Chain A
Amino acid sequence: MFKCLLVVGALALAPLSAAQAQSHPQASAPAAQPSDPQIAHIAYTAGQLDIEAADQALAKSTNAEVRAFAETMKRDHAAVNEQAMALVKKLNVTPEANATSTALTEAAARERERLSGLSGMAFDKAYIDNEVAFHRTVNEALRGTLIPGARNAELKALLERGLALFQEHQAHAEQLARHVR
């Protein structure tokens, strides 16, 4: 189990570094940071993936605490993504797919596949453990890359608001992980 989490974390983090190095291979501008359209895509994708994970939990889990957590993830990430969509529309920006958002999507698909084979307490534990790992990964990316890299002030502010929210989600998931075992 722990090995699985490490793999998920590594998979999600490694492409972040890769994306930093490769986001503008031909551009003469500094290639270290993803662009705002790429940052918007990463943040939006992370939110959608967590909503999909919550849908899976709501379809499979009967644990009241786990279901309440999943409902909160759906409600909160939908609210943030709604704001993100309104912002990119206002700024007339098209979110741009990139190596990081693709890697996040692929890692989440693998995790969803793995969780689909579990049930009962084994599923609950795997879902919550993955929520801890996923939020930790996304929060590290927000703190280390996405927020410092965002050029538009409104995008930066929304990412900061997102970070405060996802840090609470991570702490909530860590709290649940101690109950659900």
Chain B
Amino acid sequence: MSVDQGKGERSRRDVLASAAILTLAAAWPARAAGRRHVVVIDKMAFGAPPSDVKVGDTITWTNRDIVRHTATERSGAFDLDLPPGASASAVMSRAGVVPYYCRYHPVMRGEISVGV
């Protein structure tokens, strides 16, 4: 019984400790990330991908072409409509390589490397 209870207390402590770590982990990217990056679209091409992008950062696409574009993530994480001269943004919510393209001009492709 007492052993069980002790186990229970340990588990509770472990849970609390884990929760504290998780809270710190959650707070950490919020401090380190949250920066803004810009990708310019011009002459039917997405500009060079920004470097040092982290989860929680915002990417803004700006369309300098005279035709309408989109920035559409392959798995549907974001799908931004970009009329000529317009800008639109998406927050990078997961780490990894984020491939995207223009729905109207599928030959136009880009990707962003998102770190934790």
Contact = CB atoms under 8 A, between A and B. Distances in A.
A75 B65 CA distance: 13
B72 to A, nearest CB: 13
7 contacts: A79-B68, A83-B66, A161-B43, A161-B66, A165-B67, A168-B105, A175-B106
Contacts of B84: 79
A83 B85 CA distance: 14
A164 interface: yes
For chain A, the bracket of interface size reads: 10 to 19
A171 interface: yes
Given A79-B84, A165-B44, A172 B106 contact: yes
A167 B107 CA distance: 10
Given A75-B104, A172-B105, A172-B107, A167 B68 contact: no
B69 to A, nearest CB: 10
Nearest to B45: A164
Interface of A: 72, 75-76, 79-80, 83, 160-161, 164-165, 167-168, 171-172, 175
Contact of A167 (B44, B66, B67): B44
Given A75-B68, A160-B43, 17 more contacts: A72-B104, A76-B67, A76-B68, A76-B104, A79-B66, A79-B67, A79-B68, A79-B84, A80-B66, A80-B67, A161-B66, A164-B44, A164-B45, A165-B67, A168-B107, A168-B108, A172-B107
Nearest to A166: B44
Interface string B71-96: 00000000000001000000000000
A172 B67 CA distance: 15
Contacts of B67: 75-76, 79-80, 165
Contact of A168 (B44, B66, B68): B44
A75 B43 CA distance: 16
